[in-house]
Amino acid sequence: MEPQWLTYGKRLQAIASSGLHFARDQFDRERYEEIASIANEMLANLGSVPIERIEGLISDFAKGYATPKVDVRGAIVEENKVLLVREKSDGLWALPGGFADVGLSAAQNIAKELY
């Protein structure tokens, strides 16, 4: 199990990366850039390495949703009925779910998506 501060730094870095990719205005971009800077400083301090090394680790930073691109799905069955949702990408019906977030277990991600 990794140290909690390492988990926090990686999650903040992922939030900043996704936020910068999807941000629509300059004020949001500034906020996500600040989060990225704080996360990079945390990770550099934890690893006792120069911040430039941390900044260069993620080649696709801010180029999409920051996950390992693992999809999670969960089923809710009640009274012989199954909950389905329409996918935003294609409009088809599917079990509820989506990309897993960094720093959460599969079970935590599924619970988050179902909520």
Domain boundaries, the chain: 4-55, 71-114
Model pLDDT, residue 28 = 95
Place of tokens 């935590």: 108
Coil vs helix vs strand at 70? coil
Model pLDDT, residue 67 = 61
Residue 38 has pLDDT above 90, yes or no: yes
Say how many C-beta atoms besides its own lie within 10 A of residue 23's C-beta: 16
Model pLDDT, residue 62 = 67
| Predicted confidence (pLDDT) per residue in 7-36, tens digit | 898 889 889 988 999 999 999 999 999 999
| Predicted confidence (pLDDT) per residue in 68-102, tens digit | 667 899 999 999 999 999 998 889 999 999 888 87
Q: How far is CA 79 from CA 17, 83, 85, 95, in A?
A: 41, 11, 18, 17
Phi and psi angles of residue 98, each rounded to the nearest 5 degrees, phi first: 170, -170
Rounded to an integer, what distance in angstroms lies between the CA atom of residue 104 and that of residue 112?
A: 10
Phi and psi angles of residue 84, each rounded to the nearest 5 degrees, phi first: -125, 155
pTM of the model as a whole? 0.58
